Structure 1
Amino acid sequence: MQKITIAIDGFSSTGKSTLAKQLAKALGYIYVDTGAMYRAITLFAMRNKFVGVEKENINALIKLLPKAKLKFVFNEQLGFAEMYLNGENVEKEIRSIEVSNQVSRVATIEEVRHKLVDMQKEMGKEKGIVMDGRDIGTVVFPDAELKIFMTASPETRAYRRYKELLDKGDKVTYKEVLKNIQNRDYVDSHREFSPLRRAEDAIEFDNSDMGMEEQFDRIYNHSLRVIEKQ
């Protein structure tokens, strides 16, 4: 059966990564979490005091970008690949609220986007891939056979993210998470390079009032129909 490229875009905390992992596993495809890549670069920038400080130094970050080596390493126990930054597993650290507060800022930097988009395009040359992010269907894979744009109300997404962080032991408030979601929505949608937008041929999928099982079943069955037509 002919393999395809599946591009999943959408707002933060809409469950893009969870859905993408499920689809990739069910189809036997490779899953790539581009959000983890931007978060890893953000962590790199924060550790080097380029962002998240009073005097940011974006030029220094751009100069040192070649030293930020990213790699996905499959974890058999977890069943998915984890993000490594310069040989260190940073999967947990990149999901923190501190990184979340800075990632949209770093993602607006043209040089960062060029570096990661080039990496992402290389990963998808052989198809059989499910990739989620903000500009997958519009910039990375504009010719993807299946494009999905996920959305949900800010309040619903903030509550999901809030529960997720609490379960991990993070000390956050719902108000803090909601503000982060709203700020990221604005920055992602208004940045100069590769702003978040729905591709014209993407299926818009609002999961505000939908469970994970129902969501997966609908999109998985649709994916199979698209694959069968190839």
Structure 2
Amino acid sequence: MKTINIAIDGPAGAGKSSIAREVASQLGFVYVDTGALYRATALFSLEYSTQEEFLRALEDDCHLELKYFGGTQCIFLNGDNVTEKIRTPEISMKASEISALPEVRAFLLETQKDIAREFNVIMDGRDIGTVVLPDADLKIFLTASAEERASRRYLELEDKPDAPTYEQLLEEIKQRDYNDTHRKIAPLKCAKDAVRIDSTTMGFHEVCEEIMDLVEDRLDLE
């Protein structure tokens, strides 16, 4: 039986993960946060002093698993739950850096495709609709202004020790946007057949409702 795949792409901080997680929950689909796979790989890369050493170790020594507890996705690196460790600005920038490497993208590509072949999924990332799942049943490109994305991130982090300033977050987001859209391998872009949603002035539930409407209009879930 063919599985149903929904791809959500977009820049950093657009709300892809939280929105995809909520819609997947409503549909009873598996949510796949591909960014977590890249972040965990970025965390692994920090163990090596050079890029060459990291890439040599990648295939044999980097073991990633996605596990679900009460519907929540957790990412395990070599048996350790690193779900919280990978949510730092340092890891975000490192993930953006290593995602430009063809060896890293090839390493993670089959993992993502295997999950989509086995389950009905909502998968979010940067190149899901263009590279990972080019035949996805529904493709969405979710975006928002850099300023709005920085503001959202600032509100998430402002109560944490050593929280970055809004200006720092805005600069990081702009740098990630540049890195993601200018990399030679699978750059961030809107697939030709994707529905573009700009969430700059939309609330969380508004975006979820719009996506659910698209699912109901375009997919046969009977």
TM-score class, shorter-chain normalisation, is over 0.9
Q: CA deviation at 1:160?
A: 0.7
Tell me how far apart the structure 2 counterparts of residues 137 and 22 of structure 1 sit (CA, whole Å): 19
Q: CA deviation at 1:138?
A: 0.3
Tell me the secondary structure at the aligned position of residue 108 of structure 1.
Answer: coil
Partner residue of 1:70 out of 64, 68, 79: 64
- The answer for unaligned runs of 5 or more in structure 1 is 51-56
Tell me how far apart the structure 2 counterparts of residues 65 and 88 of structure 1 sit (CA, whole Å): 16
Q: Which residue pairs with 2:194 in the alignment?
A: 202
Q: Which residue pairs with 1:96 in the alignment?
A: 88
Describe the superposition over 1:145-194 as per-residue Cα deviations: whole angstroms up to 9, x where unpaired. Answer: 10000111000001111111224545211111111100000000000100
Q: Which residue pairs with 1:135 in the alignment?
A: 127
Partner AA of 1:74 in structure 2: Y
Q: What is the aligned-residue RMSD (CA, Å)?
A: 1.7
Tell me how far apart the structure 2 counterparts of residues 36 and 229 of structure 1 sit (CA, whole Å): 28
Distance 1:225 1:2, change over 3 A: farther
Q: Which residue pairs with 1:54 in the alignment?
A: none
Q: Which residue pairs with 1:53 in the alignment?
A: none
Tell me the secondary structure at the aligned position of residue 94 of structure 1.
Answer: coil
Tell me how far apart the structure 2 counterparts of residues 229 and 64 of structure 1 sit (CA, whole Å): 42
Tell me how far apart the structure 2 counterparts of residues 164 and 109 of structure 1 sit (CA, whole Å): 30
Describe the superposition over 1:123-151 as per-residue Cα deviations: whole angstroms up to 9, x where unpaired. Answer: 11135111000000000110111000011
- The answer for unaligned runs of 5 or more in structure 2 is none
Tell me how far apart the structure 2 counterparts of residues 224 and 2 of structure 1 sit (CA, whole Å): 18
Tell me how far apart the structure 1 counterparts of residues 203 and 115 of structure 2 sit (CA, whole Å): 31
Q: Relative to structure 2, which stretch is displaced further, 157-166 or 4-13?
A: 157-166
Partner residue of 2:163 out of 166, 171, 174: 171
Partner AA of 1:21 in structure 2: R
Q: Relative to structure 2, which stretch is displaced further, 137-146 or 121-130?
A: 121-130
User: Structure 1 length normalisation: TM-score?
Assistant: 0.91
Identity of aligned residues (%): 43
Q: Report the number of matched residues.
A: 221
User: Structure 2 length normalisation: TM-score?
Assistant: 0.94
Partner AA of 2:74 in structure 1: E
